[in-house]
Amino acid sequence: MNTGRVYRSIDKIVAAYQVKLDATDEEAFTVTPPIGGWSYSEVYSHIFDASLLSLLALNNASRGVGEIKHTHSLVKLILFFGSFPPTKRYKVPLRLANRVKKIEKLTAQQLIRDFEFQLKKLYPQLAQADPSIKVKHPRMGYLNAEQWLRFIEIHLGHHLKQINRIERSFKQ
């Protein structure tokens, strides 16, 4: 896996979230969209909270705090192709769903900055990470540090598509 490419891709995706955040007014940010589901604010709450939690797992795996476990073949395919299977709708694990809340734009901005800071700090550790040490993801099973980085990229991209759907629903 080319971690440099993944890191740069994450940076671009986060920049796209920032552009969308800047373009959304505070009132629209917390409104449930016409298509139902999460508001912009709930998506930002989830994606950056989950991404920060993923960085904790990446940190643990890169420091050798984990287990020697197998990564499931289906998960390896998801990581290889860079997207979740299109036919399946994933439900957020309950413990993560309970963390989602409507937040203000300022809070979303702070979450983005926290994520960027932590990612920049942790990225250099990947070079020394033992690929056999893995930390469990609630849905995908055991991932090593590089796989956690790739998961973050995929997950951020997945929810950016959700933000685009919300945006389109307000324009209809």
Kindly report the average pLDDT of the chain as a whole number. 94
Token pair in block for residue 158: 């997945």
Range of the domain at 162: 3-171
The CATH number covering residue 117 comes to 1.20.120.450
pTM for this one? 0.94
Residue 68 has a CB neighbour count (10 Å cut-off) of 10
Strand segments, DSSP code E, in the chain are 67-68, 133-137, 141-143
Is residue 29 within 8 Å of residue 104, measured between CB atoms?
Answer: yes
Q: How many folded domains does the chain comprise?
A: 1
Tens-place pLDDT, residues 78-120: 999 999 887 666 677 777 778 899 999 999 999 999 999 999 9
pLDDT at residue 68 tops 80: yes
**Phi and psi of 87, rounded to 5°?**
-85, -10
Tens-place pLDDT, residues 145-162: 999 999 999 999 999 999
Tens-place pLDDT, residues 4-25: 999 999 999 999 999 999 999 9
